Chains A and B, each alone.
Chain A
Amino acid sequence: MGQITLNKVTKSFGEVQVIPPLDLDINDGEFVVFVGPSGCGKSTLLRLIAGLEDVTSGDIVIDGTPATDLPPAKRRLAMVFQSYALYPHMSVRKNIAFPMKMAGVSQEEQQRRIDGAAKALNLTDYLDRRPGQLSGGQRQRVAIGRAIVREPAAFLFDEPLSNLDAALRVGMRLEISELHKRLETTMIYVTHDQVEAMTMADKIVVLRAGHIEQVGSPLELYRTPRNLFVAGFIGSPKMNLIEGAEAGKHGANTIGVRPEHVRVTETGPWSGVVGVSEHLGSDTFLHVHDTGLCDVMTVRAGGELNVHHGDRISLTPDTDKMHRFDAEGLRIA
């Protein structure tokens, strides 16, 4: 079980309130991602759930039992830190065994769980090494192993992949998703990378300045962002946001069109001059200037498109996939 409920939780550091009253339900077995720009309070929220910070007011309920005043060790949560926080003077085996040793698990049981975790995480050959002798990805796996053997109600990940290089990050992302499918344990994952959020989450919580901007599945957030912030944050490359007369034509204060919903056509309502074009092979991302609509418009075109710097092109948006926002930045249905 791993059902976590936050009830009007707030957190202040001195005079500064970093988390205004916040309600959130996390269901058993869900993979929830907290995502937001740096400083939005997502790590603080995770630490509140973990018990590493005390809540200023409000309640945290884990599996129906109030956990607000429980020490971290009693909450049956396991955390994977950004720096991995492995114990450098202990071998991998001892690192993984440490939480069980603290909990007084029998030797045979410890051995069984270590073997299980090592096998699942491909660490069997490294059990007697020290963390200092491992690569970043291996350290990451040891940290996950240390979390798994506790058989927690939920896993907490605090930006676990940000210290890895790009290729390894993609690999570890898959491994963690795979792990979640296998264990079916609740996971809460903090990241500032919206690609990680989109690819891994069952449910994404978009945070800004401690506020929850929107909660929903990745596709919900992609299709129906509730406001301008979510619209700009979810999706890569970013959505093109257009204000002024063009938005007025569609009865909105601001309209948003994703780069993949703008087509390069012979003739079209919009036009602009091609600036930088990024050829990825499968796609080409064009940065179009002088459209008279917004500063730079990003357009996703086919990989084989043959345009050059300085060419003037015409653009046609998919009107039915256009997002409309009012003066407060909220979505117009």
Chain B
Amino acid sequence: MATQHSRAAARFMIAPSVLLLLGWMLIPLGMTIYFSLLRYNLLMPGNNPFVGFENYSYFLSDPTFLTAMLNTLLLVGGVLLITTVGGILLALLIDQPIWGQGIVRILVIAPFFVMPTVSALVWKNMFMNPVNGLFAWVADLMGLQPYDFLASAPLLSIIGMVSWTWLPFATLILLTALQSLDSEQLEAAEMDGAGPVSRFFHIMLPHLARAITVVILIQTIFHLSIFAEILVTTNGGPGVASTNLTYLVYAESLLRFDVGTGSAGGVVAIILANIVAIFLMRMIGKNLDA
């Protein structure tokens, strides 16, 4: 695209898709903002008067909001911690030349292909169920009291399920990054007197920095909106113990039929997600500069 003419032609030709994408984004956003300013409850049909920021003050002053926000951050943070650390360790493990490496790699990657509702149901009914679950059976075997995961530690259980799904993603990206490390660098470090631990911290980890950044950024985007796992296991409960922002918005608009407050929650969630994004980019974004 060197000449003035070809630049203009290029702009003209990408214009339709840009306009489509813009509309795709702006129309729902505009409608959400519009609804968030109305008193709009499906149980009270009638005219939907304009009420300004009333919905926002209801949503933000609701004690559930703070819990939901905290839960959202715990959920994202917990999953990130488990998948990044676990992903690095797993990647190191399956990078070793072992017999049946191909099959092991496929097995490791498999959980990522299981859809969230299915994996959550499998975890809920086959593993964590206090009567029929595998964990209960193991506890019984050892003469222990079965632990009711979803009732006693709902958020932790959900963190576990989501981590199980996303660990393969982290492993896969980190494994490819690990394989791109020049083996001569490791040999040079070995000759320089660095043991396996020093080699990991001084050579491998800095090499993985960019891949880790990508893993964290992508996962954050997805984990801010975790919903299916919560819906099919705890329904946000017990009480609001496992309600995150996404689930709270759902509860407001589709369980309490308060579209106005739900929309206000949605707008708040957008703002919070952007704040998280800014912090993340500040903290780790510099790793992406080549």
**Contact of A89 with B207 in the complex, beta carbons under 8 Å:** yes
**Contact of B192 with A146 in the complex, beta carbons under 8 Å:** yes
**Contact of A99 with B192 in the complex, beta carbons under 8 Å:** yes
Q: Check if A81 is an interface residue, CB within 8 A of chain B.
A: yes
Q: Check if B52 is an interface residue, CB within 8 A of chain A.
A: no
Return chain B residues, CB-CB under 8 Å to A88: 207
**Residue A85 contacts which of B185, B193, B194 (CB distance < 8 angstroms)?**
B185
Q: Check if A102 is an interface residue, CB within 8 A of chain B.
A: yes
Once bound together, how far apart are the Cα atoms of A72 and B188, in whole Å?
10
Q: Check if A124 is an interface residue, CB within 8 A of chain B.
A: no
Q: Of B23-31, B35-43, B86-94, B198-206, which stretch is located at the interface?
A: B198-206
**Contact of A98 with B191 in the complex, beta carbons under 8 Å:** no
**Contact of A50 with B194 in the complex, beta carbons under 8 Å:** no
Closest Cβ of chain A to B260, distance in Å, is 51
Encoded as 1 (CB less than 8 Å from any B CB) or 0, chain A from 76 to 94 comes to 0111011101111110000
**Contact of B203 with A79 in the complex, beta carbons under 8 Å:** no
Q: How many residues of B contact A (CB 8 A)?
A: 17
Q: Check if A52 is an interface residue, CB within 8 A of chain B.
A: yes
Return chain A residues, CB-CB under 8 Å to B184: 81-83, 85
Q: Name B's interface SS.
A: helix
Chain A interface size band reads: 20 to 34
Whether A85 touches B190, Cβ cut-off 8 Å, given contacts A98-B202, A102-B198, is no
Closest partner residue, chain A, to B187 (CB atom): A52
**Residue B188 contacts which of A71, A81, A103 (CB distance < 8 angstroms)?**
A81
Return chain B residues, CB-CB under 8 Å to A258: none
Q: Check if B178 is an interface residue, CB within 8 A of chain A.
A: no
Closest partner residue, chain A, to B183 (CB atom): A85
**Contact of B198 with A85 in the complex, beta carbons under 8 Å:** no
Once bound together, how far apart are the Cα atoms of A258 and B6, in whole Å?
62
**Residue A52 contacts which of B190, B193, B203, B206 (CB distance < 8 angstroms)?**
B190
Q: Check if B182 is an interface residue, CB within 8 A of chain A.
A: yes
Encoded as 1 (CB less than 8 Å from any B CB) or 0, chain A from 97 to 113 comes to 01100110000000000
Once bound together, how far apart are the Cα atoms of A102 and B206, in whole Å?
17
**Contact of B191 with A77 in the complex, beta carbons under 8 Å:** yes
Q: Check if B189 is an interface residue, CB within 8 A of chain A.
A: yes
Once bound together, how far apart are the Cα atoms of A173 and B255, in whole Å?
79
Whether A98 touches B182, Cβ cut-off 8 Å, given contacts A87-B203, A89-B207, is no
Once bound together, how far apart are the Cα atoms of A98 and B189, in whole Å?
8
Q: Check if A287 is an interface residue, CB within 8 A of chain B.
A: no
Q: Check if A73 is an interface residue, CB within 8 A of chain B.
A: yes
Interface-centre pick from A52, A72, A83, A85 (highest chain B CB count, 10 A)? A85
Interface-centre pick from A78, A89, A146 (highest chain B CB count, 10 A)? A89
Closest partner residue, chain A, to B186 (CB atom): A85
**Residue A99 contacts which of B185, B187, B193 (CB distance < 8 angstroms)?**
B193
Return chain A residues, CB-CB under 8 Å to B190: 52, 71-73
Q: Which A133-177 residues sit within 8 Å CB-CB of chain B?
A: 146, 150
**Residue B191 contacts which of A72, A82, A83 (CB distance < 8 angstroms)?**
A72
**Contact of A103 with B193 in the complex, beta carbons under 8 Å:** yes
Closest partner residue, chain A, to B192 (CB atom): A99
Return chain B residues, CB-CB under 8 Å to A82: 184
**Contact of A89 with B206 in the complex, beta carbons under 8 Å:** yes
**Residue B187 contacts which of A77, A85, A146, A150 (CB distance < 8 angstroms)?**
A85
Once bound together, how far apart are the Cα atoms of A128 and B33, in whole Å?
52
Return chain B residues, CB-CB under 8 Å to A103: 193
Whether A73 touches B187, Cβ cut-off 8 Å, given contacts A83-B182, A87-B202, A98-B202, is no
Pull 15 A–B residue pairs with CB atoms less than 8 Å apart, ordered by A. Answer: A50-B191, A52-B187, A52-B191, A72-B190, A72-B191, A85-B182, A85-B188, A87-B206, A89-B207, A98-B202, A99-B192, A102-B193, A102-B198, A103-B193, A150-B192
For the complex of A and B, list the 5 residue pairs with the smallest distance between their C-beta atoms, beginning with the closest.
A99-B192, A85-B188, A73-B193, A102-B193, A85-B184
Given contacts A81-B188, A82-B184, 13 further A-B contacts (CB under 8 A): A52-B190, A71-B190, A73-B192, A78-B191, A85-B182, A87-B185, A87-B203, A87-B206, A88-B207, A89-B206, A89-B207, A102-B193, A103-B193
